[in-house]
Amino acid sequence: MAEQVDVVVIGLGVGGEEASGRLAEAGLNVVGIEPRLVGGECPYYGCIPSKMMIRAANLIAETRRVDGMAGTASVQPDWAPVAQRIRDEATDNWNDQVAVDRLVKKGVTFVREHATITGPRTVKAGDREFEASKGIVVATGTVPLVPPIDGLAGTPFWTNQDAIRVETLPASLVVLGGGAIGVELTQVFARFGVAVTVIEGAERILAMEEPESGDLAREALERDGVTITTGVHASKVAYDGNEFTITLDDGRTVTGEKLLVATGRRVDIKGLGLDQVGIDADARKIEVDEHVRAADGVWAVGDVTGVGAFTHTAMYQANIAVHDILGTQNAPLARYHAMPRVTFTDPEIGAVGLTEKQAREHGLNIATGLTQIPSSSRGWIHKAGNEGFIKLVVDTDRGVLVGATSAGPTGGEVLSALAIAVHAAVPVHSLQQVIYAYPTFHRAIGDALKDL
């Protein structure tokens, strides 16, 4: 017999953990189901450990900038403390007991099983079945997308999970895919002395961002000794027990001791039973409306919705689902026009809203403003490592920013002002009247506004 509850949350990554905890704290009877680690990809194999790696790699790069500016310094990179910190501080040796206890303390009934939807409002998990009077929240995230390249399957290639867990660095690494995961991890490993080659199928790395961002990231990675190949795909992969050989479309070959596949993510919802609630299980994502409702009695949050695969998006959507399920008056509605994202390379590349190309594709009349960080007062003072720029994309009919990129030593932080401007549609005329503190990196926003 099905156990009667209020809500069943399937998948306890960032989105599911937030939604289930909040609903239980609000007094609902909530079951959270997760076969792997409570917290999901971000704390164990994603954001947190990768940013710990980046912190370490950036310390090395900053130390190397001492010469000529503050004396002399040398650094002998050592991966051991990085691996140790990830094991001890970030992941508890990939043990989620603390997260499980935290969730249970909030009142969630935790079930460590794989869940399947068996009918409207019913979910099976192992030998238990639940009937959820209010409904089901699907928060099953994504898995690495592995392209069907001849020979690749069956080789011991890395995904992000292997790269995050690495204890001993290889001498050389080939990275397939120059998106967020590819470029962040490439820079880390290169700064620790690994010979890295990136193969990116698009014309630029960070292909979804402004072309200036891809160019900046490329220059930074090349300064770190990385070899980058763009505009070409891998057609064949071979592994001889010691080394990978990747054959490219144009006949060239690239070799490396390890191969990291970072070619995007895909939802894995085929066996979830979505057809039981009228959702297409063959779709590439679960479509949601402004309440993040996917069907009657079904909400979806996080990467599975295909709306920007970021932790902040999963949290944002979880909040909307929670309010909708609780029936809050004037509940918030999902709006994605000011979606922020930061690629944590050095320089950091933050962006919000539309790129210039996307804005033009939307049929908007556009003006852009661009300024270089090294030519700002603070950038000039900063000197070594000051590369970056601010680019603004303005809808000239409405007189508001619809997108912006902020790249530089604190690009992700400077982005905050631009994110608010895009989110709240602050008139450009008003942004031009702001007093930007001197000499900050964010004062360059004023310079970019003058360039419009």
Ligand X SMILES: NC(=O)c1ccc[n+]([C@@H]2O[C@H](COP(=O)([O-])OP(=O)(O)OC[C@H]3O[C@@H](n4cnc5c(N)ncnc54)[C@H](O)[C@@H]3O)[C@@H](O)[C@H]2O)c1
Interaction between residue 165 and ligand FAD (CB under 6 A): no
Nearer to ligand FAD, 110 or 244 (CB): 110
If one counts every other C-beta atom within 10 angstroms of the C-beta of residue 27, the result is: 10
Burial class for 146, CB neighbours closer than 10 Å (0-12, 13-18, 19+): middle
Cβ 46 to ligand X, closest distance in Å?
Answer: 7
- Which of 260, 309, 354, 393: binder of ligand FAD (CB under 6 A)? 309
Q: Smallest gap, in angstroms, from Cβ of residue 198 to ligand X?
A: 9
Q: Of ligand FAD, ligand X, none, which one sits near residue 11, judging by CB under 5 to 8 A according to partner kind?
A: ligand FAD
Member of 141, 353, 385, 409 binding ligand FAD (CB under 6 A): 141
| DSSP type of residue 273 | -
Residue 160 C-beta: closest distance to ligand X, Å: 7
Q: Any binding-site annotation on 296?
A: no
Nearest to ligand FAD of 10, 322 (CB atom): 10
Q: Is 262 annotated as a binding residue?
A: no
Q: Considering only CA atoms, which of 390, 372, 378, 379 is closest in space to residue 438?
A: 378
Residue 309 Cβ, how far from ligand X at the closest point, in Å? 3
126 binds ligand FAD (CB under 6 A): no
Q: Quick check: 223 and 229 in contact, CB under 8 A? A: no
| Exposure string for 397-424, b = 16+ CB within 10 A, e = fewer | eeebbbbbbbbbbbbbebbebbbebbbe
Residue 285 in marked binding region: no
How distant, in Å, are the alpha carbons of 80, 81, 151, 172, 260 from that of 168? Answer: 8, 11, 26, 12, 15
76: Cβ–Cβ under 8 A, 6 or more apart, which residues? none
Pick 110 or 389: Cβ nearer ligand FAD: 110
Residue 10 binds what, of ligand X, ligand FAD, none (CB under 5 to 8 Å, by partner type)? Answer: ligand FAD
Q: Given the rule CB under 6 A, which of 14-22, 102-110, 230-238, 380-388 is the region that contacts ligand FAD?
A: 14-22
The verdict on 47 binding ligand FAD (CB under 6 A) reads: yes
How buried is 88 (Cβ within 10 angstroms: 0-12 exposed, 13-18 middle, 19+ buried)? Answer: exposed
Q: Which of 29, 109, 172, 311 binds ligand FAD (CB under 6 A)?
A: 311
| CA 307 vs CA 292, 311, 404: distances in Å | 11, 11, 19
Position 278 contacts ligand FAD (CB under 6 A): no
Name 176's bridge partners. Answer: 199, 261
234 binds, among ligand FAD, ligand X, none (CB under 5 to 8 A by kind): ligand X
Tell me whether residue 445 is annotated as binding.
no
| Binding region for ligand X (CB under 6 A) | 147, 176-182, 184, 199-202, 207, 233-234, 262-265, 309-310, 341-344
Consecutive H or E run containing 404: strand 400-408
Strand 348-353 and strand 227-230: the pairing is: unpaired
Phi, psi (5° rounding) for residue 442? -70, -15
Please write down the HEC assignment for all residues of 134-179: EEEEECCCCEECCCCCECCCCCCCECHHHHHHCCCCCCEEEEECCC
Considering only residues 343 to 362 of the shown chain, the ones binding ligand FAD according to CB under 6 A are 344
Is 435 annotated to bind ligand? Answer: no
Question: Residue written as tokens 């001498």?
Answer: 171
Q: Return the number of the residue (341 or 442) whose C-beta is nearest ligand X.
A: 341
Nearer to ligand FAD, 114 or 423 (CB): 114
What type of residue is 349? I
Q: From ligand X, ligand FAD, none, which one binds at residue 179 (CB under 5 to 8 Å depending on kind)?
A: ligand X
Measured at the CA of 332, the angle between CA 327 and CA 336, to 5 degrees, comes to 140
Q: In the structure encoding, which two tokens stand for residue 179, read together?
A: 């998106």
Residue 36 as a binder of ligand FAD (CB under 6 A): the answer is yes
Binding-site size for ligand FAD (CB under 6 A) equals: 36
Residues that bind ligand FAD (CB under 6 A): 10-11, 13-16, 33-36, 40-42, 45-47, 50-51, 114-115, 139-142, 160, 181, 272, 302-304, 309-312, 314, 344
Annotated binding site: 51, 177-184, 200, 264, 303
Annotated binding site for FAD: 51, 303
